[in-house]
Amino acid sequence: MTFNELGIAPNILSAVKKMGFEKPTPIQELTIPALLTEDTDMIALAQTGTGKTAAFGLPLLSKIDFSDPNTQGLVIAPTRELCNQITNDLKNFAIDIHNSKIVAVYGGASITAQIKDIKSKCHIIVATPGRLKDLIGRGVIKLHTVNFVVLDEADEMLNMGFREDIEEILSKTPETKNVWLFSATMPKEIRIIASKYMRQPLELGVGKVNTTNENITHACYITKAKDKYQTLRRIVDYFPDIFGIIFVRTKIETQEIAEKLIRDGYNADALHGDLSQPQRDTVMHRFRTNHLQILVATDVAARGIDVHDLTHIIHYSLPDDNEVYTHRSGRTARAGKTGQSLAIVHGREVGKLRGVEQECKLKFEKRIIPSGEEVCEKQLFHIIEEIHNIEVNETAIEPYMERINKELASLTKEEIVMRLASVEFNRFLHFYKNAPDLNIDASSSSSRSEGRGDSRSPGQGGMLEVFVSVGEKDGINRGNFLKFLRQMGLNDLTVGRFEVNRLASYFDVNAEDCNAVIEALHGEEWQGRKLRCNQGEGKRNPGGRPGGSGERRPWGGDSKPRFNDRNKSDRKGGPDKGGNKKRDRRR
């Protein structure tokens, strides 16, 4: 089917062509003819990235009378980012419509400017629920002329606690309006909204409830809780072209993982709720413009993010709510592209995978965590590909060629190639020399320790004290705490001294395990209480803290970035080293 066959007005069709859309996506094929020909309410099941903005936007623009200055269309979306994206898309679709006015209103931005925008009349308002309610309360937005209400990412809005706001807003719109609801999943709350505020809605794509995009490969890596970060590094190193989001559970974890990745030389940054709007905008701008390769985010912070061409979604922690998995993974494989959704789980979380599989109707492929050797091989051929594809600025390099040739005259072509490849490759070889096997067999409770390069014997690097924020008051004792450690996947941990105070506990572990223990415990729950865990004051290792300056890095002692961090060079005002934006990001 082509766009011409869908019945869209010529002045909208021309814009669609300008945007380069060649043929409608499946959801567009379903909704556009139906909404154009019928005055109906509608529920459409559509994942993010399937073209749903055009699926409602094109019929909406076709049905609005642009000679009437009143607000006739209202689009409600969960986040500021999504509001802006929808507004931009609608403006692009309306580029050939004379005098069309589409305005976005959302929290976290000046309300005065938004009020001014709306007062000068607009045909379509795109809003987040909170700011919309505020503006209705102030009498700035009046809904009595609204004929069409679109609820976009309805399940996300309900997840975010906007149900009451949405109901209040819908109750203020005329009885005669049409409601078009889009959702990636179909929880029962959507049915409740539908039964209260919609009349015999057309249901499109609903037969495929909760199916995920077929272009996404779902895979899992099973490791110990304490090895999760190293597993993450293996995965990131194994996919040198990765451009993705790592989902973690808490704001603190977001910061911690991002900081570790940055320290280890990756081009990463954190996105979480404690960032101010300008900080958030800066991170998102870098990510969107491909200056940032890895974004570490919480689910809340990542809501509404629509970044094109993401190759990977990594679940560092699986979400508590299985539906959230669908939202996370739906951020890759957009607009017909393919993508991978990878879960890093420890033994205790394997059951959770089954829950996701059942509820989201998908199957995880169990993958072996790549060995150090495999990572090195992958990196080597990535380097070779880069050498092959690099754009050479002949004019700039020409003046140096004579000297370069002279300096390399004693080497054969083969030797030059080997040395060139080794510039990067040596760092990986060094880091992954004796790298342990990080896999555990999920079917057995004990971990596979053969072949590990690390030693479990106590005292080798001294012991360090770990502080944990639960004590006698919380019923903690050595026995139940050791059991808890095992549940957290810390099976073969050697625990020395264990001291319990009323409110806190302190225990000693081998210095080389200290960071991993903190990582595994921090933010987890002990009998409903969130644990704080950090290194205690009592240092039993005069050699210093692991993870400090002496920690292994593939890049040796220097802090040379793993990727070509254009943001850093931007900040320094340096030249754009990569030249080609696409390749730049993927380095």
Tokens at 30, concatenated: 């379903």
- Of 24-32, 217-225, 295-303, 458-466, the window that binds ligand AMP (rule: CB under 6 A) is 24-32
Question: Which residue lies nearer to ligand AMP by CB, 25 or 147?
Answer: 25
Verify binding: residue 1, ligand AMP, rule CB under 6 A: no
CA distances to 225, 391, 546, 554 from 560, in Å? 29, 22, 20, 10
Our measurement of the distance from residue 585's CA atom to the centroid of its chain's CA atoms, rounded to an integer in Å, reads: 16
Which two structure tokens, joined as six digits, stand for 385?
Answer: 């590909």
Size of residue set near ligand AMP by CB under 6 A: 15
User: Least distance in Å: CB of 78 to ligand AMP?
Assistant: 13
* C-alpha to C-alpha distance for 60 and 73, rounded to whole angstroms: 7
Nearer to ligand AMP, 28 or 254 (CB): 28
HSE at residue 202, side-chain half, CA atoms within 13 A, is 17
CA 172 to chain centre: 35
Among 7, 9, 11, 21, binds ligand AMP (CB under 6 A): 21
| Binding of residue 87 to ligand AMP (CB under 6 A) | no
CB of residue 254 to ligand AMP, shortest distance in Å: 24
DSSP assignment of 42-88 equals: EEEE--TTSSHHHHHHHHHHHHS-TTS-S--EEEE-SSHHHHHHHHH
Is 9 or 136 the residue whose CB approaches ligand AMP more closely? Answer: 9
The residues in 460-499 that bind ligand AMP, with binding defined as CB under 6 A, are none
| String of contacts with ligand AMP for each residue 553-582, x by CB under 6 A | ------------------------------
Residue nearer to ligand AMP on the CB measure, 26 or 130: 26
CB contact at 8 A, 564 and 268? no
Task: Identify which of residues 49 and 319 has a Cβ nearer to ligand AMP in the complex.
Answer: 49
Short-list 118, 177, 167, CA closest to 144: 177
Choose between 33 and 436: whose C-beta lies nearer to ligand AMP: 33
Point out which residues pair with 223 in neighbouring strands.
Answer: 346
Closest CA to 284 of 265, 266, 257, 302: 302
The amino acid occupying position 550 is: G
Question: Minimum distance between the CB of residue 335 and ligand AMP, rounded to whole angstroms?
Answer: 4
In the region spanning residues 30 to 69, those forming contacts with ligand AMP, defined by CB under 6 A, are 48-54
By beta-carbon proximity to ligand AMP, the closer residue of 302 and 488 is: 302
Q: Tell me, what amino acid is at 51?
A: G
Write phi, then psi, for 70 (nearest 5 degrees).
-70, 155
Q: In the complex with ligand AMP, which residue's Cβ is closer, 3 or 425?
A: 3
Task: Pick from 25, 217, 298, 341 the residue near ligand AMP by CB under 6 A.
Answer: 25
Query: Euclidean distance between the first and final Cα of the chain, in Å?
Result: 39
Please identify, using beta-carbon distances, which residue of 51 and 462 lies nearer to ligand AMP: 51
Least gap, CB of 195 to ligand AMP (angstroms)? 27
Dihedral pair phi/psi, residue 162, rounded to 5°? -90, 10
- The alpha carbon dihedral of 70, 75, 78, 80 has a sign of negative
Q: Is 24 in the site for ligand AMP (CB under 6 A)?
A: yes
| Beta carbon of residue 16, minimum distance to ligand AMP (angstroms, whole number) | 8
Window 311-350: contact mask with ligand AMP (x via CB under 6 A): -----------------------xx---------------
| Two tokens, residue 491 | 């099976």
Site track for ligand AMP across 288-307, x = CB under 6 A: ------------------x-
Q: Which positions touch ligand AMP (CB under 6 A)? A: 21, 24-25, 28, 48-54, 306, 308, 334-335
